Amino acid sequence: MRDRVVFQLSAPYREPYTLRALEFGSGGPTVAIVAGLHGNELNGVHALNLVASALRMARLNGTVTLIPVVNTFGLDQGTKRWPIDDNDINQAFPGDPQGSAVQRIAFALLDATQAEVCVDVHSGSPLVDEICQARVPLTGREVGLARAMGLPMVWRREGDRLEATGLVGAWRERGVAALHVVGGRGATLDLVRSRQIADGLLRLLTEVGVLRFGMEPGKILVDATRRGVAYHYSSFGGFWVPEVAVGDRVAAGHLLGTINEVVGGSLVEEVRADRAGVVVTMRSYPVVHARELLVRVAEPT
């Protein structure tokens, strides 16, 4: 393993910003995996370290570059964005070597991830729990790669995260297979989901031929397009009490949770599934305002 500093940026009154890459193997095929682009999304950081420990003991047929943390200053301070100017590194691509700090970091990260298959790992927000999922376009090589990962959800969708100002969009602009992986919630270490993401990444490395692990295939619960996912929002503010958890199967009409008065607990609203499916997103922070996302239910495979 090679632990390489791929970029540094001096900081006004602390150690310089340092972007580190762990590199394994040599030659092709090439895979780059990034986490911690958002400083408070920690499941991916742990997942990449689990992958690193597996790769240290494996014989590789190809090259794997792991970048477990990009927004190191945000990680220090528990913030999603770059703390100095509150910019989102994931909106700064393709970056600029003469630009602001986040633009320089974006430029260096894109340069350090020149691989045939690229993966960017995120968590949900600190308020929301997400099933482990690979988000990919409707068609193309990424769909097969996402299914090979065997995470509980494959979500084929156009739209957000595909614009070239985001890392996944910037990779696609370059013509490489790019996957956007999401699992768990921000500001939390979820050991089960970190392990699921790590296993998915090892299956991906097996699929592209870098590893020859005999891994069990993962169980895909949902393989959906946007139309296959129902969104349930709050109609009123209050105290959200879930009745189901991420990964549960529900029938149409099943009680997903209730919104209650914060003081006294009187029922304000019942939220019921409008179709049968699997709970893939759950609001985990109980205090909600009107029109906030509470639950997503997706059609099972």
Residues that bind Zn ion (CB under 5 A): 38, 41, 122
Q: How far is CA 149 from the centre of its chain?
A: 13
Of the pair 164, 215, the CB lying nearest Zn ion is at 164
Shortest CB 201 distance to Zn ion, Å: 17
Shortest CB 90 distance to Zn ion, Å: 6
Of the pair 122, 157, the CB lying nearest Zn ion is at 122
- With vertex at residue 292, the alpha carbon angle to CA 289 and CA 295, rounded to the nearest 5 degrees, is 125
Q: Which two tokens stand for residue 197?
A: 């993401």
Shortest CB 121 distance to Zn ion, Å: 9
Q: Which two tokens stand for residue 56?
A: 């240290």
Of the pair 23, 120, the CB lying nearest Zn ion is at 120
**Local structure of 197: helix, strand or coil:** helix
**Taking a C-beta distance cutoff of 8 angstroms, is the pair 124, 161 a contact?**
no
Shortest CB 37 distance to Zn ion, Å: 6
Q: Which two tokens stand for residue 288?
A: 């909600």
**Residue 15 φ/ψ region, left for φ over 0, alpha for ψ in the -120 to 50 degree band, beta for the rest:** beta
Shortest CB 38 distance to Zn ion, Å: 4
Of the pair 122, 203, the CB lying nearest Zn ion is at 122
- Cα separation, 105 vs 8, in Å, equals 9
- Cα separation, 268 vs 241, in Å, equals 11
Cα dihedral 192, 196, 202, 206 in deg (nearest 10): 150
Of the pair 118, 208, the CB lying nearest Zn ion is at 118
Of the pair 74, 257, the CB lying nearest Zn ion is at 74
- Cα separation, 224 vs 290, in Å, equals 27
Of the pair 149, 167, the CB lying nearest Zn ion is at 167
Shortest CB 285 distance to Zn ion, Å: 17
Strands 153-156 and 128-136: parallel
Shortest CB 18 distance to Zn ion, Å: 21
